[in-house]
Amino acid sequence: MSGLCDGRVVVVTGAGRGLGRAHALAFAAEGARLVVNDLGVGLDGAPGAGNPAEQVAAEIRAAGGEAVAHGGDIAVSEGAASLVATAVETYGRLDTLVNNAGFLRDRMLVNLDEDDWDAVLRVHLKGHFLPLKHAAAHWRAETKAGRTPEARIVNTSSGAGLLGSLGQGNYSAAKAGIIGLTLVAAAELRRYGVQVNAIAPAARTRMTERTFAETMAAPAVGFDAMAPENVSPLVVWLGSSASVGVTGRVFEAEGGRIAVMEGWRAGPRVDKGTRWRPGEVGEAVLKLLGEAEVPGIVYGA
């Protein structure tokens, strides 16, 4: 490996399995020291067996790297604060935060319970906000002390957050919210030496195995386009000092493909110069829609 992250201290949430595990191993392979966070819950957020965070940390140490496990709940302030504290107390610094933790409770909207809505928004959106907040507070203090960091945050959105996904109204809303949070954080934290970006990955994980059931099987030979390890090189680069100047961006990653996603911006427009009458708005809007790009199709539609 190139040693792209030699000396950097990296925190990855939800790193016990799937994408998070792949990210943690990839950072370690590039010389980073890891805090591996995972609450160890099931796919729906219910308590699970085992200690996946420690298993991944042990895997990194067995390969000659440095890693400690953190099993706290990062969707509560105390857990997020202790996550940052673990990095600083163990290694003396924090350089990169990768927000990845999440689970699913899929339902069509008419069947979606309030608890299922709250639970998914909590772990995905609040579980991004709180670690980001506590890491940012640490880096602000470092800047005020004259030690401006080369800090990085990589958030995890989804194609569901970009286009929507049938049966995943809660998940789609949370992932769209993460994009908004990323844009605000990138603007607010730039002064403290912090770059903030987001990815929208597609890979084979516990969360996606039902969604992509027909295309998830790994090939017997050749390139496995759905392997979570395919996403990690982009995350590692974004989390390294080599990505200087890249902030406030959203990237889609799947297999060997990387795309820069371009968000909402003004398309065709018309300005009457005064207030419209309801009866004349329709003609103007239909003309604008005829000139506009056709939106992407909601997943599953």
Which of 91, 171, 172, 192 does the annotation list as catalytic?
171
Which of 165, 172, 175, 243 does the annotation list as catalytic?
175
Amino acid at residue number 110: V
Phi/psi region, residue 293 (left: phi>0; alpha: psi -120 to 50; beta: rest), is: beta
Strand intervals (E) in 161-294: 194-202, 250-254, 257-261
Using a CB cutoff of 8 Å and minimum separation of 24, what contacts does 292-300 make? 292/267, 292/268, 293/267, 295/163, 296/162, 296/163, 297/163, 298/163, 298/164, 298/165, 298/166, 299/159, 299/160, 299/163, 299/164, 299/165, 299/166, 299/168, 299/211, 300/165, 300/166, 300/167
Which of 82, 157, 158, 243 does the annotation list as catalytic?
158
Q: What are phi and psi of 43, to 5 degrees?
A: -60, -30
Cβ atoms of 134 and 53 closer than 8 Å? no
**Is-catalytic flag, 299?**
no
132 burial (CB, 10 Å; 0-12 / 13-18 / 19+) is: buried
**Is-catalytic flag, 241?**
no
**Is-catalytic flag, 158?**
yes
Tell me how far apart the alpha carbons of residues 120 and 104 are, in angstroms, rounded to a whole number. Answer: 6
**Which is nearest to 24 in space by CA: 63, 67, 73?**
67
Please compute, for residue 109, the number of CA atoms within 13 A of its CA located in the half-sphere on the CB side: 6
Could you give the residue numbers annotated as active site?
158, 171, 175
